With several copies, the nearest count.
Chain A
Amino acid sequence: MIRVGLTTKHIQLWLQKTNEKIQENKTYLTELDQAIGDGDHGINMARGFEEAIKKTAESDYESPSDLLKDWAMTLISKVGGASGPLFGTAILKMSMSVKGKAEINYAELTTAFEEALAGILQRGHAAENQKTLVDVWSPIVRFLQENTAFDSAAFTNQAKEAMEQTKDMQAEKGRAAYLKERSIGHIDPGSASSFYLLQSLSEVIEKEGVTV
């Protein structure tokens, strides 16, 4: 197999697949946020991703970077709350990271994720173990760094495991932090939606036979 990498089309499919999962799980994500936040996370993500789908349907994109940029800007503008700037910044940093590339290979994808995580950390000032989406993005970046080729199943597993581990954490950033000990026992909503995003990437790579 030739290592073609992720093309614009794959990014489009990634966005679509993520959107599907977000819409399907809108109520679940909102319920997670009702338990330890203000109960809008599913609504926010669903609104933002729906808009991103609409926005990116308007143009033919020349490169992954251009598409990622519109995706990111739409999230920043339409998701709102804490997750808007965080997911938006993550995707925007990816867009900047892959600028000028027609295809994204494994190393480039890893770098893109590293920069996405850096953006998230810079924006939200959270560290690992504070029960935020950082607790999914940090492990997944380490996972990418520790490997040399994309293993869909392992990638998804790693993301899922990371998400599930937020359940036992006590929140120290974001709204759930107000709950202190009472935040323990619930999955962090932003980590759950991060999982859907990562799982979707994995599924696209798997299904389209992308060799990254």
Chain B
Amino acid sequence: MKKLINDPNNVVEEMMKGMAAAHHDVLKHVPDTAVLTRVERTAGKVGIVSGGGSGHEPSHAGFVGKGMLDAAVCGPVFTSPGPDQVLEGIKAADSGAGVLLVIKNYSGDVMNFEMAMELAEMETITVDKVIVNDDVAVEDSTYTTGRRGIAGTVFVHKIAGAKAETGAPLAEVKASAEKAIRNVRSMGMALSACTIPAAGKPGFEMAENEMEIGMGIHGEPGIERTLLKTADEVAEELISKILQDGVHKSGDEVAVMINGLGSTPLMELYILNGKVSDILEEKGITVYKTFVGEYMTAIEMAGCSVSLLKLDDELKELLDAPAHTTAFRM
């Protein structure tokens, strides 16, 4: 394991420290917690809290700031934080108008965040939640765990954050976030594994000529292991799987996110985007805005995901609203 770290068991604490030191104009560390919160609070606004395991940087603390999150809860690498820490995040984000939790659909995240909601209610803070499950690589099912939340979550942060900034009440903020969730679908792939610092070795092995289609952001396996394909083929495959889901159709307007998983050069993400934009044009889908970069990573995994968010007038306005965070600026 080759990492620029000090102690594998201390990476999250040190990251929070270095992040607060770098961006003290935007965010601060709530002492003795796993929470990074906004410096400038908008009073009377619904608070937006996200978080989960670390290792997805800039998710989630990179989206703390005006127009997006009020607090991010940074769990251990790939491990949901416990409810006490989520509660700290809720407290940091609450300014009286209630708090919305943006949860990615993983058993651990859902359980810990729900327990935190119960604790917050005991402290008479109004809390509601939305669960993001944008990953079409996984079958949609209520019987099983269902779909994972991956990079599309960033769009949900943006929409919920912008809506909250308008002063809308919790129910409306939740409704907008849920519309974003209904409208966003993602699909990823990986060229290499990643190493949890405390584990010290990669989560799996991939041969020099293999890739995995449908890979999750924790190195959870995908739909299939195939031979390495070209960027154009990968674009075709990811987009076609997303479109199969039926949410995005000819005539629609969408926002596109080409997300790098950690060690895929921006050059490659742009190459992929060239093809993605061609395919969407062919399908009669209009691209309103495109975001290319690292938004939801899997430590140093090589690979990418593509997300499509179907837009209507409300979502466009919310997407375009100002956001002043360290990893997302509008």
Contact = CB atoms under 8 A, between A and B. Distances in A.
Touch test A–B (CB under 8 Å): yes
A82 B220 CA distance: 15
A38 interface: yes
A40 B76 CA distance: 9
Contact of B76 (A47, A85, A130, A173): A47
Given A39-B196, A174-B145, A177-B144, A84 B219 contact: no
Contacts of A180: 139
Contacts of B80: 80-82, 84
Contacts of B138: 178
Contacts of B115: 76, 85, 123
A124 B111 CA distance: 7
B216 A178 contact: yes
Given A82-B108, A85-B115, A77 B84 contact: yes
Describe A's contact surface by its main secondary structure.
Answer: helix
B135 to A, nearest CB: 9
B79 A44 contact: yes
B33 to A, nearest CB: 11
Interface in B55-108: 75-85, 106-108
B107 A79 contact: no
B204 interface: yes
14 contacts: A38-B196, A40-B53, A40-B79, A40-B199, A80-B79, A80-B81, A80-B108, A81-B75, A82-B111, A85-B83, A172-B145, A175-B220, A178-B145, A178-B221
Interface of A: 30, 34, 37-40, 43-44, 47, 76-86, 88, 123-124, 130, 172-175, 177-180, 182
Interface of B: 9, 53, 75-85, 106-108, 111-112, 115, 137-139, 143-145, 148, 196, 198-199, 203-204, 216, 218-222
